Amino acid sequence: MIVRRIRRPELGSVALSAIVSIYLLVVTNNSFWSHAASYFDNSRLSLLSFGAALALTTFAVLTLASAKYVIKPVLIFLIVVSGAAAYFVDYFGVIIDKDMIGNAAVTTQAEASHLLTGSLMLHLLLYAVIPSVFVVWVKVRHRRLLPKAAINLAIIIPCLLISGGLIYSDFASVAYVIREHKDLMKRFNPTGPVSAAVRYASSIYKERNIVVQPLGTDARQGARVAAAGKPVVVVVVAGETARAMNFSLNGYDRETNPELKSLGVINYTDTTSCGTATAISLPCMFSVYPRNEYTDWKARSTENLVNVLTRAGVSVSWWDNNTGSKGIADLISFASMTNQKNSPLCNNGECLDEIFLGELDKKLSATKSNSVIVLHQLGSHGPSYYLRYPEKFRKFKPDCRTPELMKCSVEEITNAYDNTILYTDYVLASVARLLEKHQNDISGAMIYMSDHGESLGENGIYLHGAPYAIAPREQTQVPFVSWFSKPYQTAMGIDASCLAKETDQPKSHDNLFHTVLGMMDVETKVYNRDLDAFANCTRQGPLGKPSVSAFQAADTAKDLPAAVVPATAMPGAKAL
């Protein structure tokens, strides 16, 4: 029996570069071209000119990398990156920028597992593995060094000159589109995700020697909390992926907040987030910096809300049922709720948010000092919405029962998401009732803010993490709810009826830092009364007397730390 060897195809290095260029441009950039067509809608000729320039530039770059021993690894890398990125960009409508790379870097195994679906595996097989196997299999012809360099330059230089000429000839249109639609080039594979990864790695490298500067070193508890007569306890619930428009408290046509409604909570109807992903929004929420001044560098190099509270003598605990505190709780008591074994509320490294309630009941019964307890929820995190609530909360049906959202209708996705909001309503109401249960021994209050919202298929976008400048309101409008026990209202001078008249006033994550300081009557120069959401309806001193140590909000700016000052200029600063 004669077995014939299959003859390997043979291509020149330039020809292979051309084939891969066409593959990347045509197959892995569907989202890019559809958006480009929309953005250049008024000029098809401009679109063709821009597309031709991009194609020539791509071919020139790949030709530049067509050296022996280099071409195959480079082409395979670009194919794999583009193939993987195309799945998330095309199916979920997300943009893979620096922040999205950061989110991926800090995700947990349990969280990542929801994205490792059969659809993703099939997509990678078709769009990354098979093309890569072809590149490995093909035999590449290479000329000797000098002739190869000459021929490559003879290709690269004209391509770049023609590309530049095409851009220059219609520069006004191209510049306008790129300036007004900054998301466009972030969608282009493979340069979008590759440049995002490089920027993320660069930021991590720059922050390797970052220091943490003390904040609120003058912090102390005021007269109201001292005169309360019993421990003051505030539970701060950091929500996850809850969008305001699906809260019936905000006018949603489904009853998703029956329990909070029955408690008569204070609900702010117009609240915006600091970011569209947890890695940004969560640190920003607990940071002294407002959104328009916030940077990751500032957050990492400056102490935050929990540190100021601790410095004032408040006992602070962080309980996490998510992917961690993103550095916020590094210097305080931290407990991960997902590590509990043999609990009916937990499965595969994730727990339902009810996991907080039993421990909170025990904590409140044993509390003897003024305390803040932060509960970081799993909330409505997607795409596996159906795993975020127990069977008894499947009120809205049929609900999407898979993380592969493209297999579900918009109605099924919305039903599953609304069930998560219904369950969050129950958890929040349960927290309030536990505070009420222990009101003979503590003066308790609860404040809830979600970190960001979620897209459920509107305009072809799913999940979250869109660049803030172009993010839809579904991702930036978040719920903000508070509840106060009667003892807390009396002790801290909160006028709930006054607050109820202000619930339509715009609020944001900028308010959380100063509002919680106000709730615990912490006096410090970094407290800004203008950003305390409850200040207008709060007595400033015991028995109606003004607080003798209150600082003016005007002092806030000058007392903010110089977050980027080198460590040598900040004696006593603590390294991470």
DSSP string spanning 473-536?
HHHHB--EEEEE-HHHHHHHTB-HHHHHTTTTS-EETHHHHHHHHHHTTEE-TT--GGG-TTGG
Residue 56 host element (H or E): helix 44-64
Question: Over the stretch 249-273, which tens digit does the pLDDT of each residue have?
Answer: 999 999 999 999 999 999 999 999 9
Per-position b or e across 64-80, b if 16+ CB within 10 A of its CB: bbbeeeebbebbbebbb
* 85-99, 275-289, 354-368, 440-454: segment of lowest average pLDDT: 85-99
Q: Give the pLDDT band (50/70/90) at residue 567.
A: very low
Residue matched to tokens 């969050």: 424
Residue 557: pLDDT over 70:
no
Question: Over the stretch 338-395, which tens digit does the pLDDT of each residue have?
Answer: 877 789 999 888 999 999 999 999 999 999 999 999 999 999 999 999 999 999 999 9
| The pLDDT of residue 503 | 97
Question: Over the stretch 136-164, which tens digit does the pLDDT of each residue have?
Answer: 999 998 888 888 889 999 999 999 999 99
Question: Over the stretch 458-473, which tens digit does the pLDDT of each residue have?
Answer: 988 999 999 998 899 9
| The pLDDT of residue 315 | 97
> What phi and psi values does residue 143 have, to the nearest 5 degrees?
-80, 170
Question: Over the stretch 220-233, which tens digit does the pLDDT of each residue have?
Answer: 999 999 898 899 99
Residue 132: how many CA atoms within 13 Å on its side-chain side? 17
Look up the pTM and report it.
0.84
- Measured CA distances, 548 to 153, 264, 299, 539 (Å): 76, 33, 31, 13
* 43-57, 252-266, 335-349, 396-410: segment of lowest average pLDDT: 335-349
Residue 500 contacts residue 483 (beta carbons within 8 Å): no
Average pLDDT over residues 50-72: 93
Question: Over the stretch 271-321, which tens digit does the pLDDT of each residue have?
Answer: 999 999 999 999 999 999 999 999 999 999 999 999 999 999 999 999 999
| The pLDDT of residue 5 | 66
| The pLDDT of residue 203 | 81
| The pLDDT of residue 553 | 40
DSSP code for 126: I
> Exposed, middle or buried by CB within 10 Å (0-12, 13-18, 19+), for 382?
buried
Average pLDDT over residues 95-122: 82
| The pLDDT of residue 209 | 77
Residue 189 contacts residue 86 (beta carbons within 8 Å): yes
Residue 357 contacts residue 390 (beta carbons within 8 Å): no
Distance from C-alpha of 112 to C-alpha of 120, rounded to nearest angstrom: 12
Question: Over the stretch 490-519, which tens digit does the pLDDT of each residue have?
Answer: 999 999 999 999 999 999 999 999 999 999
| The pLDDT of residue 541 | 61
3-state secondary structure 522-555: EECCCCCHHHCCCHHHECCCHHHCCCCCCCCHHH
> What phi and psi values does residue 462 have, to the nearest 5 degrees?
-125, 165
Could you tell me the sign of the dihedral formed by the alpha carbons of 351, 354, 358, 364, in that order?
Answer: positive
- Count helices and strands (H / E) in the chain: 23, 19
DSSP string spanning 292-328?
TT--HHHHHHB--HHHHHHHTT-EEEEEESSS--TTT
Distance from C-alpha of 88 to C-alpha of 566, rounded to nearest angstrom: 39
Residue 425 vs residue 4, higher pLDDT: 425
* 99-108, 322-331, 435-444, 526-535: segment of lowest average pLDDT: 99-108
Distance from C-alpha of 386 to C-alpha of 416, rounded to nearest angstrom: 6
* 3-7, 24-28, 202-206: segment of lowest average pLDDT: 3-7
Average pLDDT over residues 93-120: 81
| The pLDDT of residue 561 | 53
Residue 515 contacts residue 478 (beta carbons within 8 Å): no
Structure tokens, 408: 């579900």
> What phi and psi values does residue 550 have, to the nearest 5 degrees?
-65, 135
Distance from C-alpha of 43 to C-alpha of 304, rounded to nearest angstrom: 50
| The pLDDT of residue 207 | 73
Q: Give the pLDDT band (50/70/90) at residue 551.
A: very low
| The pLDDT of residue 108 | 73
| The pLDDT of residue 528 | 97
**pLDDT, averaged across the chain:** 90
Q: Which amino acid is at 44?
A: R
Name which of 505, 535, 501, 499 is nearest 517 in CA terms: 535
